Amino acid sequence: MHKYFLLIFILFTTVISNAQTVQGKVVDEMSGEPIPFVSIGVIGTNNTTVTNDAGEFILKNISLPAKLRYSHVSYLLIEDEISSYNNLFVKLNPAAINLKTVTVDPYRGQRLVKAALEKTKEFEKNIFYGNAFYRQLTTINEKPSQIYELFYDLKFSVSNVSAWIAKQSRFAQSNDGISFSMSNQSYLTFLLAGNLFEERKVGKFVTLKNLKDYEISVERYIEQKDQDIAVVSCKYKGKRKEFYVNSIYYIGVEDSKIYRLENSIFNLPLKVNVTSKIPPTVTTIATFNGTNNPIPVLQNISTKLYLNLSTRGRSITPVISSMLTIYQLDKNLSTQKFTELNRKVQDKAIVESIEYNPEFWKNNPIVKQTALEDAFIKMMESKSAFGTMIDP
């Protein structure tokens, strides 16, 4: 068995909670398909979560009766009162798409992005604190090989996660075939966990200073009850061999706030000790919750890193998928001593620094798994393979 190690900088997050729970699934009313990244919150509280790729969710610390709000930029918002802890099955109606206005004003997209970035910049010094859960799954040639799960307390802003405290962690790795590991996957996730990138010194991001470097256009408008959401595409016009980012913003037409941001990152600078056949690419989807806050606050970010490597004449295609969910905001966390974001921090060292607590993880429902994650987790649990660093 060969082991290949990649040096990249990314970051983890995770969180903990113990109480009564509500779980359920959200699907499209028309197609019946599950809807990922739906924001679910308990009205009147900061208790929120998002659905996973299978449309599933869990909310903890619920006192009944409670009123839940389900929101997604592409669907009509609904509110529903619940009086029992039975599994919920929620159907959302797609929001109407309005294309009529898109071609009328070719500069409309640039003005929307400029106004949104200016609005967000007004709050760049605001600091938020919250409990978070982080899961990272590595697949090699479409076969799961490694998984990390961590609970964190986080300190963050509209730009990124700036500091963290790891509370619980577990790790498992399959030794069947080729093994592949990242040295610091979580750093990248934390670094990209925002929607304002004005001070980035490396890479071409959409900023107020370089809007002229992007081809910006409104793709469509999504009709919501309170306001339309403009979906604005920003494509970099410069040299394609450098580190650059294309972005899609979901912006409130009336309030100029960013509710969702999708990034496609090209030519990410990585150091690899095997041959890279093509430059790595990264995609992110971040959602922001505008409830009870003057500016939408990070709720969730999904990150996927795609690699195409060659070693000893053999091709391997690792995909590292991570999901960070901030499920509860808590100002009281500010009294703790946080570790500042640093690209030199190694994920393995963080995991090894925390004693593995099997009772804590047993049937822990904080974040629902996708089918792929669930199958791998059950397989590793059946081998008693989870721990601090386990070699099953």
Q: Once rounded to an integer, what is the mean pLDDT over residues 371-379?
A: 61
Evaluate whether residue 387 is within a structural domain: no
Q: How many domains does the chain have?
A: 1
Q: Answer yes or no: are the C-beta atoms of 282 and 22 closer than 8 Å.
A: no
Average pLDDT for 296-316: 85
Q: How far apart are CA 50 and CA 336, in angstroms?
A: 26
Instruction: With a cut of 90, say whether residue 392 has pLDDT above it.
Output: no
Higher pLDDT among residues 52 and 178, named by residue: 52
Neighbour count for residue 264 (Cβ, 10 Å): 15
Query: Between 274 and 332, whose confidence is greater?
Result: 332
Tokens matching residue 208: 């107020």
- Of 192-196, 357-361, 379-383, the poorest mean pLDDT is in 379-383
Does a cis peptide bond (omega within 30 degrees of 0) precede residue 65? yes
CA distances (Å), origin 306, targets 138, 147, 183, 278: 10, 16, 15, 10
Give the span between the Cα atoms of 266 and 331, in whole angstroms: 36
Q: Per the domain annotation, does 389 fall within a domain? A: no
Query: How high is the pLDDT of residue 391?
Result: 34
Q: Which domain holds residue 185?
A: 3-382
Inside any domain, residue 275: yes
Q: Per the structure block, which two tokens stand in for 175?
A: 């030794």
Please list, residue by residue across 67-103, b when 16 or more beta carbons sit within 10 angstroms of its beta carbon and e when fewer do: ebbbbbbbbbbeeeebeeeeebebebeebeeeeeebe
Per the domain annotation, does 14 fall within a domain?
yes
Residue 243: predicted pLDDT:
93
Question: CA geometry: angle at 97 spanning 96 and 102, to 5°?
Answer: 150
Q: Which long-range contacts (CB under 8 A, 24 or more apart) does 343-350 make?
A: 343/9, 343/184, 343/187, 344/184, 345/11, 345/184, 345/187, 346/183, 346/184, 347/12, 347/148, 347/182, 347/183, 347/184, 347/185, 347/186, 348/181, 348/183, 348/389, 350/12, 350/150, 350/166, 350/169
Q: Is residue 293 part of a domain?
A: yes
Residue 334: DSSP 8-state: G
Between residues 278 and 81, which one has the greater pLDDT?
A: 81
Assigned domain for 346 exists: yes
Which tens digit of pLDDT belongs to each residue from 71-103?
888 899 899 999 887 789 999 999 887 765 555
Indicate whether this model's pTM tops 0.75.
yes
- Lowest pLDDT segment from 240-244, 279-283, 386-390: 386-390
In a domain, 388, yes or no: no
Whether 391 is in a domain gets the answer no
